[in-house]
Structure 1
Amino acid sequence: MVLTVTDVTKTIPQSGLQKPILDRVNLQVQAGTSLALTGESGSGKSTLLHLVGALDSFDSGEIHVDGIALSNLDETGRAALRRSNVSIVFQQFNIIPSLDVAANIALHAKLAKTHDPDWEALLAQRLGLTALLSRYPEQLSGGQQQRVAIARALAMRPKLLLADEPTGSLDEETGDAVLGLMLDLVAESQTALFLVTHSQSIAAALDQRLHLSNGGLT
C-alpha cells in the first residue's frame, strides 16, 4: 500500500476543550488507484488530507506513506517527504506568477531531482498545455491553470497525489475533463490518488469512496 492510515485521531481546541475532529480513522490506497473522501464542510476532510501530506501532526495512531511512518519524521523529514514522495494539488492552484508554464511544470521535479523533460512534455501534451508552455499564469484561464498545477504535481512522479477540491473552482464541463485526465495519468504512472471533494459525481468516478462524519469514516 502506498498510503495506510491506522487508528488516527486528531483533536482541535474548542471552548477551552480538545474536540476530536478525527476519531480512530483507518483507510488504505494502493498504487495506481484512487480514493475519494466526501463529507460536510467542517467534517475534517481537509484536516485528514493535511495529516497525510505531513503538513500537520496527529495525536495518536499512525500514517505510512510508501512505508514511511510519519510520526517518526521531524520537520526536515516531513519537508523531504513532500519533495520526493507526495504531491498536493490545491483548489487555489498555487502556481508561480513569475514563471512560465514550462518552468512551473518542472519546478517540483527539479527540487526532487526527478526532472525528466520527456515526461513533462508528455504531461503537457496529455493536459492540452503544449501550445501554452511559454505563457505566464496571468495569461491562462482557470482551467488551464489547474491543468498546470496537475502537471506540476505529476511531473515529479510522486508515490502519492493529494488533491483538495481540485476542480471546485471550475465549470462542470472543464472539471469533468480535468478529472478524467488526472485519473488516466494516475493509473498510467502508478500513483496513488487521495482526493477530497464535496461532489458525489466526482467521488463516484474514483475507485473507492469514503464519507467522513462525526470523526469517523463510512
Structure 2
Amino acid sequence: MVLKITDVSKSYTSGQGVTSVLQGVSLTLEAGSSLALTGDSGSGKSTLLHLAAALDSFDSGEITIEGAPLSGLNEAGRAALRQQAVSIVFQQFNLIPSLSVGSNLSLHARLGRRRDRAWEDRLIDRLGLSNLLDRYPDQLSGGQQQRVAIGRAMALRPALLLADEPTGNLDETASEAVMGLMLELLRDSGAALFLVTHSDSIANQLDRRLHLKQGQIA
C-alpha cells in the first residue's frame, strides 16, 4: 500500500474560533493505481493532499506512505520523505524562474540524490521538451510549463505522485494533452497518483474517484 489515510481529522484555529476542515477521512491507494478526489471549493480537498505530502500536520488519525507513519516524523524526516518518495504537481506550476527548463526538470531528483539521466532523457522526449531545455519558465506557454512541472515531479521516480488541480490553469485542449502524458508516464513508472480536481472529465480518467463533502468522504 503506497498511501493509507486512516480516520484523519484536521482543524484550524483563528480569531473566529476553531474551524473543522477534515473529519475522520479514510482512503487507500496502491502502487500503480490512480485516485481522483473531487469536491466543492472549501471541502478540504487541498488540505488532505497537503497532509499526504507531509506539508502540514493532522490533529488525529494516521497517514502512512509505503508503511511509514507520518505522525512519527519530525520536520527533517518529512523533508526527506518528499525528497525520496513523494512528488507534487501544483496548479501554479511552481517552477523556479532563475533556472532553465533543464535545471528545473532535474531539480527534485538532484536534491533527493536520485537522478537517473536515462529516465530523465526519456521524460524529456515523451514530454516534448527537447527543444526547450535552455529556455526559462517565463519563455514558455502554460501548457509547456506544466509539462516541465510534471517532468520534474516524475524525474524523482516517486512512489506517490500528488497533483493539486494540475490542469486548472490550462484550456481544455492543453488539459487533455497534459493529463494524457501524466497518466502515460505513471503507467511506465509504476507510481501511484492521488489527484485533487473539480473536473468530472479528469476524474473519470483515473481508476477510482471519491467525493469530499464538508470534510468527509460522501
Decide: shared fold, TM above 0.5.
yes
- Deviation at 1:139? 1.2
Partners of 1:37 and 1:45 within 8 A in 2: yes
1:98-122, CA deviations, whole angstroms, 9 ceiling, x for partnerless residues?
A: 1111111111101111111111110
Counterpart mapping for 1:1-218 below 5 A: 1-13=1-13, 16-218=16-218
Query: For 2:151 and 2:43, how far apart are their aligned partners in 1?
Result: 29
- Deviation at 1:96? 1.1
CA root-mean-square deviation: 1.0
Partner amino acid, structure 1, of 2:156: M
Aligned residues: 218
Query: For 2:73 and 2:98, how far apart are their aligned partners in 1?
Result: 33
Partner amino acid, structure 1, of 2:118: D
- Deviation at 1:15? 5.9
- Deviation at 1:16? 4.2
TM value normalised by structure 2: 0.97
Query: For 1:35 and 1:88, how far apart are their aligned partners in 2?
Result: 14
Partner amino acid, structure 2, of 1:195: L
Counting aligned pairs with the same residue, the percent is 63
Query: For 2:97 and 2:119, how far apart are their aligned partners in 1?
Result: 23
More moved, 17-26 vs 206-215: 17-26
- Report the secondary structure of 2:210's partner residue: strand
Residue segments in structure 1 that go unaligned for 5+ positions in a row = none
Partners of 1:32 and 1:188 within 8 A in 2: no
Query: For 1:207 and 1:83, how far apart are their aligned partners in 2?
Result: 26
